Amino acid sequence: MINMLNGKWRSGPKSSLLNTILLVTSFAIVLVLSVLTDSQPAYALPLHTGNVRAIPAFARKYGLPCSACHTAWPELNNFGQTFRDNGYQLNNDHDSPIYQDPGYFPISFRTTPNWHREGVNNQLIDAVPGVPGDPATGEGMVNGRVTTHGFDLSGFDLWSAGTLYKNISFTVLPAIESSGALHFEAAFIRFDNLLKSRWLNLKLGKFELDNMLSEKRFLFLSKNGGSYQSYHFVPTGELSNAFGLGDNQLGVELSGHSVNSYTRYGVALLSSNDGSPELPTSRSYDTYLTFSQAFPVGKLGLQRLGGFAYLGQRPTIALTAAGVAFPGAGYGNKSFYRAGFSGDFNIGKLQILPFFLHGYESAFLGTNTPANAALPDGAMAPTWNAGFVETHLHLSPQFVFTNRFELIRMSRQALPETPLNTGNIDAYTVGYRWYPIMFSRAGIAFHNEYSIIKTQGAGVGATPFVDPPTAVWSNSVHAGFDIAF
């Protein structure tokens, strides 16, 4: 913490005052937004909360401040991206653990104690609390709103990552959810610079897809805003494909990059189980292809443009014995894909991140029809377009304003009777992160965020089972301390 710990930074006092003003103002704005929208609370989508990544163990290992690798942690800047692409190596011939102080251990942890509020409207609730209504007919049930708030925890990441030897890197990331359940969010080994070429790196295990706009390293934490809707969307009613572009996947990835990571590519072969271990459903494979190119534009900074394509398949039939499915033995695979492009454009302190995705699902997946059965009349492969524009205003390495506007629009429904706008999403998130300390040992961020989502056709009408489905509005307010050590 340059200005607060030692006061040596030349513009320290001014920056401190500016940060305080921004903090107070921003907090007020977010609170006002949450109050104003109280009349339109909504539906909390069942998406996982953001699992934000930053690794202070690397800062400790190399003595660099968080800001060297992160625009605002956990989001990587190009130096951090290059470090990651090099297999967590600076390539100064001091990367292997043999050069480290024996007392050094590559472990980081992160948690976020917070207060949050969630609101959702157009929900089916009992007309008289405690007197069960009938959700099949709607009898005894009314359209209602649900609001919750209180102090909470985000869960706990215990992340070990680093180098086993020169050009052999690893990650092990057991994540403990706030409920206490534990799962392995990531675990992989990576062989770097194969054949002495930075264009050949092989990773094996469970890892984040090489998304140019990482959902694991983004700057949003609230229940609504803590996920890219575009990354996890599947058409309404579809049950046979839970794929998420933001979900860590199991497989093998070949990747490469130029010396400064301006040019990057990745090709991954992945199990068709959306990252779930023990092969729960499928025995087929997906492919993920990414490419991006950065180019410096004078005083504006580095600009990057990239494309991606995920080509997958999911079983529609389960192999069973006495009606019980064998795990990992599904067949009758049907295809789906996601393809699009993303950007990372910089105009001085302003960072603009556009994203576009086109999604396609087989009509069998879209209608939950086994491959050996006839499709419903008029069934078609559902398609949609999704995208967002995210902006970050990096006022300093210790303060960033965030903002994201996201849209998803169905372009074709699986069934002709489904209104075209069913499932459409409008989402808006605004917030800021303030890093009161910024040095090479640990990190704290005060995070404040407001997010609102409208999901078309997902809520009950004013009179359940009489009026047509309506939109659901959900909103989140999140304020907490993001701690990484």
Q: Which residues bind another protein (CB under 8 A)?
A: 2, 5-6, 8-10, 62-65, 67-68, 77-79, 81-82, 90-94, 259-261, 296, 298-299, 301-302, 396-397, 439-440
Report the nearest approach of another protein to the CB of residue 387 (Å).
Answer: 27
Taking the C-alpha atoms of residue 33 and residue 228, their distance in angstroms, rounded to an integer, is 21
* β-bridge mates for residue 111, sequence order: 156, 483
Per residue, the 3-state secondary structure of 311-371, as one string, reads EEEECCECCEECCEECCCCCECCEEEEEEEEEEEEEECCEEEEEEEEEEEECHHHHCCCCC
Q: What angle do CA 431, 433, 435 make, to 5 degrees?
A: 170
- Distance between the two ends of the chain, CA-based, in angstroms? 15
Report the nearest approach of another protein to the CB of residue 82 (Å).
Answer: 4
* CB nearer to another protein: pick between 74 and 275: 74
* CB nearer to another protein: pick between 130 and 298: 298
What is the identity of the amino acid at 125? I
> Are the CB atoms for 452 and 42 separated by under 8 Å?
yes
Report the nearest approach of another protein to the CB of residue 51 (Å).
Answer: 25
Report the nearest approach of another protein to the CB of residue 90 (Å).
Answer: 4
* CB nearer to another protein: pick between 2 and 234: 2
Report the nearest approach of another protein to the CB of residue 441 (Å).
Answer: 9
Taking the C-alpha atoms of residue 407 and residue 79, their distance in angstroms, rounded to an integer, is 31
* CB nearer to another protein: pick between 298 and 323: 298
Report the nearest approach of another protein to the CB of residue 170 (Å).
Answer: 21
* β-bridge mates for residue 32, sequence order: none
Q: Which pairs from 307-310 meet CB under 8 Å and 24+ separation?
A: 307/339, 307/340, 307/341, 307/342, 308/211, 308/212, 308/338, 308/339, 308/340, 308/341, 308/342, 309/337, 309/338, 309/339, 310/209, 310/243, 310/245, 310/286, 310/337, 310/338, 310/339
Taking the C-alpha atoms of residue 69 and residue 57, their distance in angstroms, rounded to an integer, is 12
* β-bridge mates for residue 426, sequence order: 407, 454
Report the nearest approach of another protein to the CB of residue 10 (Å).
Answer: 7
* CB nearer to another protein: pick between 258 and 335: 258
Residue indicated by tokens 């499928």 = 282
Taking the C-alpha atoms of residue 455 and residue 472, their distance in angstroms, rounded to an integer, is 5
* Radius of gyration of the chain from its Cα atoms, rounded to whole angstroms: 23
> Are the CB atoms for 469 and 459 separated by under 8 Å?
yes
Report the nearest approach of another protein to the CB of residue 299 (Å).
Answer: 6
Q: What is the DSSP string of 194-250?
A: GGG-TT-EEEEEEE----SS-STTSS--STTTTS-HHHH---TT--S----TTS-EE
* CB nearer to another protein: pick between 65 and 382: 65
Report the nearest approach of another protein to the CB of residue 186 (Å).
Answer: 23
Report the nearest approach of another protein to the CB of residue 11 (Å).
Answer: 8
Report the nearest approach of another protein to the CB of residue 152 (Å).
Answer: 32
